[in-house]
Amino acid sequence: MTFKKAIITPPPDKAILTAIRDAGFHGIEANWMDAAGPVISRAEAESVRDIARDLGVEIHCMLRGWAEYTSSDPAKVRADQEFTLATLRAAQGYGAGVALVVPGRIGGMPMPERGKFKVDFDCKSGHVRSVAEGDNSPYAEYIAAHNRAWDAIRRAVRELIPVAEETGVVIGLENVWNNLFMSPEHFACLIDTFESPWVRAYFDVANHLVYGPPPQQWIRVLGNRLIRIHIKDYRLGVPPEKEWPALLEGSVPFPEVMKALREVGYEGWLTIEGPCGDYRECSRRLDRILAA
């Protein structure tokens, strides 16, 4: 089974691409989430793709990041959609097969404690019926917000599918501490509702550790819906400022994660996100995970 090593970088140039190659990576995920100004044009991205090819590395994904499809402001939703559409076209220029999209978030209301979610939902509608054991009346506002978010995300992502097909870039939906899709079965249901090979799951092995179930269970449920994997660590049972340690210094059960990935037949990119040292040290740490 073949895995390729990658790391998230700022918008790449020759210096970044050379450095990650020399460190032993096969490619990068280009992070445009925090970049100032407009998304790179397709033509500009093509020139960077040519540099990468000359160096023998790939830009395998473009990180669009947070989209506010759950916003109550239609102008904000439209602006975010235009940014995502531009991302798909730029990703095509990079030669990237995937654009990572976090489709929204909800919060600011009572909800179960982390690790206490127990979600019951109707996969036909996607709507949540309950989110915890026992009396769910304290969470009525959260359940209603979750169901509105489901509908809004479905509308926005459906609109992206024709452009994804046109550009040949898969929409990789990721769940990132956004209080949505709190079980792997519910997230799998979301992916399945699109009935499209252009919408898949981008899974981060650390993001759900504190919420549960463990990442290996998410991987087994998502199975062939997986299009990319983020690798980072998380430490359980510590103050918030210590929750995100360097790679291999936390609580993520990497041997179990790798076992699950192999069981479901996942092949392809494993991309480091989060602290791990310089590029060479990050590469060494990912080699240790692969050896598991």
Give residue-wise pLDDT tens across range 160-187. 999 999 999 999 999 889 999 999 999 9
pLDDT of residue 267: 94
pLDDT of residue 213: 94
pLDDT of residue 33: 85
pLDDT of residue 34: 73
Residue 119 maps to a domain: no
Residue 118 maps to a domain: no
Q: Tens of pLDDT along 218-249?
A: 999 999 999 999 999 999 999 999 999 999 99
For tokens 């990703």, the residue is: 91
The helix/strand/coil state of 286 is: helix
Q: Tens of pLDDT along 113-157?
A: 999 999 999 999 999 999 999 999 999 999 999 999 999 999 999
Give the sign of the dihedral formed by CA 199, CA 201, CA 207, CA 210: positive
For tokens 């299009």, the residue is: 227
E strand or H helix that includes residue 121: strand 120-121
Give the sign of the dihedral formed by CA 240, CA 246, CA 247, CA 251: negative
Q: Tens of pLDDT along 201-222?
A: 999 999 999 998 999 999 999 9
155's tokens: 């509308």
Question: In one letter, which amino acid is 182?
Answer: M
Residue 22 maps to a domain: yes
Give the whole-angstrom CA distance, residue 62 versus residue 171: 10
pLDDT of residue 36: 62
User: What is the tally of structural domains in the chain?
Assistant: 1
Burial of 212 (0-12, 13-18, 19+ CB in 10 A): middle
CATH number for the domain harbouring residue 14: 3.20.20.150
CA angle 57, 98, 212 (to 5 degrees): 110
pLDDT of residue 65: 87
Has residue 1 got a pLDDT over 70? no
Question: In one letter, which amino acid is 112?
Answer: P
The range of the structural domain enclosing residue 198 comes to 3-113+153-291
Give the whole-angstrom CA distance, residue 194 versus residue 191: 6
Instruction: Give the closest residue to 18 by CA, choosing from 62, 50, 60, 52.
Output: 52
**pLDDT (mean) for 264-284:** 96
Residue 129 maps to a domain: no
Q: Tens of pLDDT along 77-94?
A: 999 999 999 999 999 999
End-to-end CA distance of the chain: 13
Average pLDDT score over the chain: 95
Q: Tens of pLDDT along 19-72?
A: 999 999 999 999 998 766 688 999 999 999 999 999 999 999 999 988 999 999
Parallel/antiparallel/unpaired status of strands 128-130 and 120-121: antiparallel
Residue 235 maps to a domain: yes
